[in-house]
Amino acid sequence: MTDSKYFTTTKKGEIFELKAELNSDKKEKKKEAVKKVIASMTVGKDVSALFPDVVNCMQTDNLELKKLVYLYLMNYAKSQPDMAIMAVNTFVKDCEDPNPLIRALAVRTMGCIRVDKITEYLCEPLRKCLKDEDPYVRKTAAVCVAKLHDINAQLVEDQGFLDTLKDLISDSNPMVVANAVAALSEIAESHPSSNLLDLNPQSINKLLTALNECTEWGQIFILDCLANYMPKDDREAQSICERVTPRLSHANSAVVLSAVKVLMKFMEMLSKDLDYYGTLLKKLAPPLVTLLSAEPELQYVALRNINLIVQKRPEILKHEMKVFFVKYNDPIYVKLEKLDIMIRLASQANIAQVLAELKEYATEVDVDFVRKAVRAIGRCAIKVEQSAERCVSTLLDLIQTKVNYVVQEAIVVIKDIFRKYPNKYESVIATLCENLDSLDEPEARAAMIWIVGEYAERIDNADELLESFLEGFHDESTQVQLQLLTAIVKLFLKKPTETQELVQQVLSLATQDSDNPDLRDRGYIYWRLLSTDPVAAKEVVLAEKPLISEETDLIEPTLLDELICYIGTLASVYHKPPSAFVEGVVHKSLPPRTVSSESVESPDAAPSGPAADQPSVIPTQGDLLGDLLNLDLGPPVTGPPMATVQMGAVDLLGGGLDILIGGGGGSSGTFTPAPGTTAPTNVGAPLDSGLGDLFDLTGGVGTLSGSYVAPKTVWLPAMKAKGLEISGTFSRQVGSISMDLVLTNKALQVMSDFAIQFNRNSFGLAPAAPLQVHAPLAPNQSVEISLPLNTVGSVMKMDPLNNLQVAVKNNIDVFYFSTLYPLHILFVEDGKMERQMFLATWKDIPNENETQFQIKECSLNADAVSSKLQGSNIFTIAKRNVEGQDMLYQSLKLTNGIWVLAELRIQPSNPSFTLSLKCRAPEVSQYIYQAYETILKN
Amino acid sequence: MWTTFVSCPFSPSLKMIHSLFLINCSGDIFLEKHWKSVVSQSVCDYFFEAQEKAIDVENVPPVISTPHHYLISIYRDKIFFVSVIQTEVPPLFVIEFLHRVADTFQDYFGECSETAIKDNVVIVYELLEEMLDNGFPLATESNILKELIKPPTILRSVVNSITGSSNVGDTLPTGQLSNIPWRRAGVKYTNNEAYFDVIEEIDAIIDKSGSTVFAEIQGVIDSCIKLSGMPDLSLSFMNPRLLDDVSFHPCIRFKRWESERVLSFIPPDGNFRLISYRVSSQNLVAIPVYVKHMISFKENTSSGRFDVTIGPKQNMGKTVEGVVMTVHMPKAVLNMNLSATQGSYTFDPVTKVLTWDVGKITPQKLPNLKGIVNLQSGAPKPEENPSLNIQFKIQQLAISGLKVNRLDMYGEKYKPFKGVKYITKAGKFQVRT
């Protein structure tokens, strides 16, 4: 007697047979038939043709049959909307049933039927169920509001369901509270601007109380909701943390991770001197470790999150290295993640153990894992100086195994070790050279070539070795070709007498026979350099190399902070901000540290990790010198190597050579302007007329640090507002935004009782103070008012983005108008990005987020442009001259924390500028461009 | 805010678990359930692609992104539970839920297998519907589910077919909304019993030389409580300080534990896991067995030697039993010619897995397995050394030393029968060679 019998079919045709059975008089037969229909549904068969027959079975007092019919309805109602209406009456009736189970079932199922017509009928029953005496019905109804909102949001708002839902947060039953929170969170997510979850200390208190009593799933909803709250000071943060910590001992790992998220976020507000801070750190370690004893799928998600946590706060897990040791039967995705964390936690204290483990892993079966383990040994050497020697000898042992991929991987990392500790381990070169023939991967070949070139003077047959590579020059990958070119030039500079021929050969191969512009350009540069001034060439090519970074694959700090706010979500698994997944997501940020008694952080409390002290990264990817020396090839920097090559190529064009000669060696990391091409930017230089005008326009309010202010325009004509005319503009000075208004009374009566309100808007602009009109406005009188604004209002995405809807009230009426505000009033004063960060961010933002614009007919030169833009908080980070064009690299930051990076190309002869904008939220680009236009042309 | 201004510039978002597909090892989708609109089976193609890439079923990544969805899956009892997600959602939430679904099937049908699921497809469907509403977990406690949907029994199906009654409960489960949702009201037993099993598993990595690289104890206390009414229990330990990293069943009063180190709770009815805990401090984790091994492959002879002996360490006078050793031999191994002084061994030439079922270890005569390994002729000497995976059991011992002190019951008048059992097992216990 099993259900598998429902799968058997007859010859006559299944649907026909089922139809007959569904219409049978016998209850039992009917039920069996519906079960057969459901069975077909479970394997994806289309049984929608039976819709009317199944719906006919709905009116029954048999609960099981009812449930089965409901199951069917949910699946097929969408494809049969007219038929679905037939079911409405039964639903409405069931919503009144004395049995709460049936009431809940009906309202729940009705919400699942995604047919517009049904929604009208749903409202009344839903309203009743939201106020039902039985909490089971209320909690089901709460979720139903979210379902209805998904189908018809307007309806939900019009019917006032959202307010009812908000009231349910104060319900006496914790399960109802949890579901209300879940429903509100879901609605808020699809409607980011709404201020649905208006969290305040009182509501937070209610949530914390419900947290202790509701089910595990409810706890997750509540914790995720808590994480969005911004405590007002460190005391409140601490008290919330104290009430959340017991969740760390929950058996459900999702509860644990959500609790970790809340704690990691609020910890940011606590002073490191607090005893509680230390206690909290200690409490966080055990639950994280416990997650690793769960099922492998859970482990994987946990490890991805731990990876973020150890980057942010390495002190939490610094003593727990061993739990990340790999077991041979861990799934590969777990192994790779564990390895990553092991390296992050490696320190002088535990390096011996780590190294022993890594060596063990290097003999495992899985190739990907072995490679990563070998690489990890190299990273340990670079990170922990004391271990370098041991690491090198381990690597040499591994090379002796002659396992091809192990050898290649080892050579790649040894090259980095040479870079980090010059003149220390060169004795191993001989061993490396023995393996030259077995290298078939470009990265390993390039690394080997770099080593030979770098130590050419110590390798007797360096010329022979390099020559052997030269034979198949055109078959090599670009990486190897570039490397070979540089290595041979190095060799020539070191042993000029014997290698003249070789260098000629490689230069002609690179410049004449190659289609690759990177290679050609680099060849020409070397050629010119060598032919004009060999001494300078020596200084440049053999210049001392900058150090390489200790930590690799670090997540950029701003992104890391954002990701910490998303612990436990998909974003944390992919290490990408959710804006990369879901549109219209508001960026979250860690709360600032608002300590009531600010004190100096004690040195021992400061973490030694990446967040605290930046590693000494020198070679930036766009760095010209670094590129010439081929530093881009090997050092473990973030970002794909191909992009690096392309960036470098731009530098090499035109101006690059001048810089090379003018700037000389050693000045890496700075964009030395080529002499003669541009005048040095003089901050104190007299302002040109363009800037002068700007000050005229701003009139009395304009100060040196103020942004451009457009002249006032009429926003609300008198005829539309019963005689009140409003004109105005927006301005920004020293960090504060204001709306400068002129109110004119063109009516015949006196106006008074002015008030102003903004609708929700894209950037949360809101009046920071009430509209102050001191005396009543007599007819034909006008008054100028500067209304301070802030950006902490509620947010809703508008179209166009910079649209602001305003309501002004006076004693006569309320008037509405909308206006567009220039985006540059939102550019904040600290929008200057670190150069390193700029480069990293520029590469990090995908190319599809780049937008290009033309700014036509602008006759300013680069410096004037720079200073003009700076006045509006667009900061020039670097300026370069490439083939006679000036390239300005600029950054700006919006009040909501969105960074925009810009490249502005100015050709002296051409009045059109090209503006390329890159931003994680590309929808703002167009408005940024408008701001550029406005600023530059006024 | 004035509502007239509010426009609706949002796209519909479908949250949480959208659909679930159950897939067997040969790649057949044998069940699908959609909580929202129907998602085509073709979405599983992305999963199959990942599965193919992973080669081994265990290596399929749990989170897969596709152009329009995310697939979050677990692999349990030879079944992939693949859930379809459309927006940002906590993956742990989904994974935990999927495991809960598998647990529920196990609980209802005695096994979580394709046959069991197919045989009970209607109940499965009813369960899935009951467990998740609009992506929000609804009832996942076995106690509550069983009141809503009765588990199948042979007797019931016979009775149902005679009387026409159904296996769906028609009243609201009592525990559903109380502050103790895990317990139903009106529980009655003639024999009132409470059993606690303290089960400890040792996870360890032992290196070549026999020293411990890593060791920890994963402990659980599984309980079987059959007590009438609303008993309020408190369980205390001789040495509660051992437990500093504990996860609790929701029934446990955390405050009591924090202040008094006593487990105080109103238990669910039936079987459940009371706590799980971890003991990692190295000196507390005793390793009950040692392994002497000599595995070597000779260059150019297509053969190697294999010699393994297992012995007990001091175990407080308890016997180590149920010893099984499994070894994944390198690919180049063709066959093994071994002889065991005790137990029996098998070598599967396809999977290259050597299994030696040792049984009980008697310290007087240590079990040994030795002989010749035959390699593929011409193949190079294997680089990797196989790890030995050891399983064992020790009855009547919690290796951490954890001991239950007493169990007290309040709230009910009867005298329950109480019992505590201890057992230590090998978890992931690996010896490197």
Strand duo A899-906 + A885-893: pairing: antiparallel
Place of tokens 């991967």: A441
Query: Between A and B, how many CB-CB pairs are < 8 A?
Result: 290
pLDDT band at B345 (very low <50, low <70, confident <90, very high): very high
pLDDT value at residue A597? 44
* Lowest mean pLDDT segment, chosen from A55-69, A656-670, B6-20, B25-39: A656-670
pLDDT value at residue A582? 55
Amino acid identity of residue B215, one-letter, is A
Examine the pLDDT at A375 and tell me if it is beyond 80.
yes
pLDDT value at residue A653? 35
Amino acid identity of residue B162, one-letter, is I
Examine the pLDDT at B8 and tell me if it is beyond 70.
no
Q: Which of B8, B167, B246 sits opposite A249 (nearest CB)?
A: B246
Cα(first)–Cα(last) distance of chain A, in Å? 85
Contact list in B for residue A329 (CB cut-off 8 A) is: 389, 428, 430
User: For residue A320, how many other CB atoms are within 10 A of its CB?
Assistant: 18
Share of chain B above pLDDT 70, in %: 89
Sign of CA dihedral A276, A278, A284, A290: negative
Nearest Cα of chain B lies from the Cα of A588 at a distance, in angstroms, of: 14
H/E run at residue A341: helix A332-345
Q: Which of residues 284-323 of B touch A (CB under 8 A)?
A: none
Concatenating the DSSP letter of every residue in A808-855 gives: EE-SS-EEEEEEE--GGGGB-TT-PPPHHHHHHHHHHS-GGGEEEEEE
What is the Cα gyration radius of chain B?
A: 26
pLDDT band at A634 (very low <50, low <70, confident <90, very high): very low
Contact B9 A258 (CB under 8 A): no
Q: Cα separation of A844 and A563, whole Å?
A: 15
pLDDT value at residue B9? 27
Q: Which of A62, A136, A195 sits opposite B176 (nearest CB)?
A: A136
pLDDT band at B322 (very low <50, low <70, confident <90, very high): very high
Examine the pLDDT at A360 and tell me if it is beyond 50.
yes
- CB B238 within 8 Å of CB B404: yes
Strand duo B193-206 + B417-431: pairing: parallel
* Lowest mean pLDDT segment, chosen from A2-16, A104-118, A623-637, A849-863: A623-637
Q: Is B396 left (phi over 0), alpha (psi -120 to 50) or beta?
A: left
pLDDT band at A14 (very low <50, low <70, confident <90, very high): confident
3-state secondary structure of B332: coil
CA distances A372 to A343, A369, A393, A550, B41, Å, are: 11, 5, 18, 17, 36
Q: Which of B59, B95, B99 sits opposite A301 (nearest CB)?
A: B95
Is A386 touching B (CB cutoff 8 A)?
Answer: no
Strand duo B193-206 + B70-76: pairing: unpaired
Examine the pLDDT at A400 and tell me if it is beyond 60.
yes
Is A760 touching B (CB cutoff 8 A)?
Answer: yes
The burial class, CB within 10 Å (0-12 / 13-18 / 19+), for B339 is exposed
CA distances A364 to A333, A753, B329, B330, Å, are: 15, 80, 12, 10
- Give residue-wise pLDDT tens across range A77-94: 777 777 777 788 888 888
- Give residue-wise pLDDT tens across range A818-839: 888 888 888 888 888 888 788 8
pLDDT value at residue B72? 93
Share of chain A above pLDDT 90, in %: 14
- Give residue-wise pLDDT tens across range A670-725: 333 333 333 333 333 344 444 434 444 333 333 345 677 888 888 888 877 888 88
pLDDT value at residue A585? 54
Record the tokens describing residue A247, joined without a space: 């969740």
Q: Cα separation of A682 and A665, whole Å?
A: 25
Contact A297 B428 (CB under 8 A): no
Phi, psi of B425 (to 5 degrees): -135, 165
Is A191 touching B (CB cutoff 8 A)?
Answer: yes
3-state secondary structure of A163: helix
- CB A328 within 8 Å of CB B387: yes
Reported in sequence order, the residue ranges of A635-761 that DSSP labels E, i.e. its strands, are 713-716, 724-733, 736-745, 755-758
Contact list in A for residue B93 (CB cut-off 8 A) is: 217, 220, 254, 568
What one-character DSSP code corresponds to residue A667? -
What residues have CB less than 8 Å from A217, skipping those under 6 apart?
A178, B93, B97, B136, B137, B140
Contact B1 A195 (CB under 8 A): yes
Place of tokens 């980057």: A311
Q: How far does CA A761 lie from the centroid of its chain?
A: 22
pLDDT band at A659 (very low <50, low <70, confident <90, very high): very low
H/E run at residue A494: helix A478-494
User: For residue B140, how many other CB atoms are within 10 A of its CB?
Assistant: 21
Q: Cα separation of A623 and A666, whole Å?
A: 12
Contact B120 A3 (CB under 8 A): yes
Among candidates A187, A278, A268, which has minimal Cα distance to A227?
Answer: A268
Helices (DSSP H) in A699-846: which residue ranges?
835-844
pLDDT value at residue B193? 93
- Give residue-wise pLDDT tens across range B185-209: 778 899 999 999 999 999 999 988 8
Q: Which residues of A408-426 are buried (b: 16+ CB within 10 A; e: fewer)?
A: bbbbbbbbbbbbbbeeebb
Per-chain mean pLDDT for chain B: 84
Contact list in A for residue B55 (CB cut-off 8 A) is: none
Dihedral angle at the C-alpha atoms of A625, A627, A633, A637, nearest 10 degrees? 70
Q: Which residues of A698-708 are buried (b: 16+ CB within 10 A; e: fewer)?
A: beeebeeebbb
Nearest Cα of chain B lies from the Cα of A785 at a distance, in angstroms, of: 23
Q: Which of A75, A249, A757 sits opposite B254 (nearest CB)?
A: A249
Is A403 touching B (CB cutoff 8 A)?
Answer: yes
Q: Cα separation of B70 and A573, whole Å?
A: 12
What one-character DSSP code corresponds to residue B282? G
Q: Cα separation of A278 and A330, whole Å?
A: 33
Beta bridge partners of A513: none
What residues have CB less than 8 Å from B190, skipping those under 6 apart?
none
pLDDT band at A851 (very low <50, low <70, confident <90, very high): confident
pLDDT value at residue B173? 59
Q: Which of B92, B134, B328 sits opposite A146 (nearest CB)?
A: B134
pLDDT value at residue B359? 92
pLDDT band at B228 (very low <50, low <70, confident <90, very high): very high
The burial class, CB within 10 Å (0-12 / 13-18 / 19+), for A501 is exposed
CA distances B114 to A40, B24, B167, Å, are: 16, 7, 21
Examine the pLDDT at A473 and tell me if it is beyond 90.
no
pLDDT value at residue A514? 83
Give me the mean pLDDT over the A737-743 stretch.
Answer: 88
Contact A300 B63 (CB under 8 A): yes
Among candidates A539, A467, A476, A450, which has minimal Cα distance to A504?
Answer: A467
Contact B33 A42 (CB under 8 A): yes
pLDDT band at B136 (very low <50, low <70, confident <90, very high): confident
Is A190 touching B (CB cutoff 8 A)?
Answer: yes
Averaging pLDDT over each range in A164-173, A605-614, B379-388, which range is the top one?
A164-173
Among candidates A341, A368, A575, which has minimal Cα distance to B53?
Answer: A368
User: Residue B377: CA atoms inside 13 Å, Cβ hemisphere, count?
Assistant: 0
- Give residue-wise pLDDT tens across range B41-62: 888 999 999 988 887 888 889 9
Q: Which residue of B has its CA nearest to A7?
A: B118
Q: Is A534 left (phi over 0), alpha (psi -120 to 50) or beta?
A: alpha
Is the complex ipTM more than 0.90? Answer: no
The burial class, CB within 10 Å (0-12 / 13-18 / 19+), for B411 is exposed
pLDDT value at residue B343? 92
Nearest Cα of chain B lies from the Cα of A103 at a distance, in angstroms, of: 11
Examine the pLDDT at A917 and tell me if it is beyond 50.
yes
Per-chain mean pLDDT for chain A: 79
Averaging pLDDT over each range in A67-81, A384-398, A644-658, B174-188, which range is the top one?
A384-398
* Lowest mean pLDDT segment, chosen from A847-851, A880-884, B111-115, B251-255: A880-884
Among candidates A786, A778, A712, A714, which has minimal Cα distance to A746?
Answer: A778
Beta bridge partners of B423: B199, B395
Place of tokens 């990264």: A617
Angle between helix A63-76 and helix A27-42 axes, rounded to 10 deg: 40
Contact list in B for residue A353 (CB cut-off 8 A) is: 213
Contact A360 B432 (CB under 8 A): yes
Q: Which of A114, A217, A331 sits opposite B37 (nearest CB)?
A: A114
pLDDT band at A23 (very low <50, low <70, confident <90, very high): confident
Record the tokens describing residue A891, joined without a space: 């950054």
Examine the pLDDT at A213 and tell me if it is beyond 90.
no
- Give residue-wise pLDDT tens across range A866-882: 888 888 888 888 888 77
Q: Is A750 left (phi over 0), alpha (psi -120 to 50) or beta?
A: beta
pLDDT value at residue B174? 54
Contact B133 A143 (CB under 8 A): yes
pLDDT value at residue B10? 29
Averaging pLDDT over each range in A714-728, B141-155, B320-334, which range is the top one?
B320-334
pLDDT value at residue B410? 92
pLDDT band at B6 (very low <50, low <70, confident <90, very high): very low
- Give residue-wise pLDDT tens across range A518-550: 899 999 999 888 888 888 888 888 888 777 776
What one-character DSSP code corresponds to residue A885? E
Give me the mean pLDDT over the A919-927 stretch.
Answer: 84
pLDDT value at residue B275? 93
Degrees, nearest 5: CA angle A196-A200-A204: 95
Is A360 touching B (CB cutoff 8 A)?
Answer: yes
Q: Which of B12, B90, B123 sits opposite A190 (nearest CB)?
A: B12
Examine the pLDDT at A316 and tell me if it is beyond 80.
yes
- Give residue-wise pLDDT tens across range B364-419: 889 999 999 988 887 777 877 788 999 999 999 999 889 999 999 998 889 999 99
Strand duo A814-820 + A850-855: pairing: unpaired
Among candidates B220, B229, B236, B232, which has minimal Cα distance to B274?
Answer: B220
Give me the mean pLDDT over the B179-189 stretch.
Answer: 78
Contact A286 B278 (CB under 8 A): yes
Q: Which of B8, B169, B213 sits opposite A153 (nearest CB)?
A: B8
pLDDT value at residue A324? 94
Q: Between these two residues, A438 and B97, which has the higher pLDDT value? A: B97
pLDDT band at B166 (very low <50, low <70, confident <90, very high): low
Contact list in A for residue B154 (CB cut-off 8 A) is: 1
Q: Which of A249, A365, A403 sits opposite B248 (nearest CB)?
A: A249
Nearest Cα of chain B lies from the Cα of A559 at a distance, in angstroms, of: 17
Is B245 touching A (CB cutoff 8 A)?
Answer: yes
Q: Cα separation of A232 and A236, whole Å?
A: 7
Contact list in B for residue A38 (CB cut-off 8 A) is: 121-122, 125
Share of chain A above pLDDT 70, in %: 84
SS (H, E, C) A80-92: CHHHHHHHHHHHH
Beta bridge partners of A668: none
- CB A770 within 8 Å of CB A805: no
Share of chain B above pLDDT 90, in %: 41
Give me the mean pLDDT over the B301-327 stretch.
Answer: 87
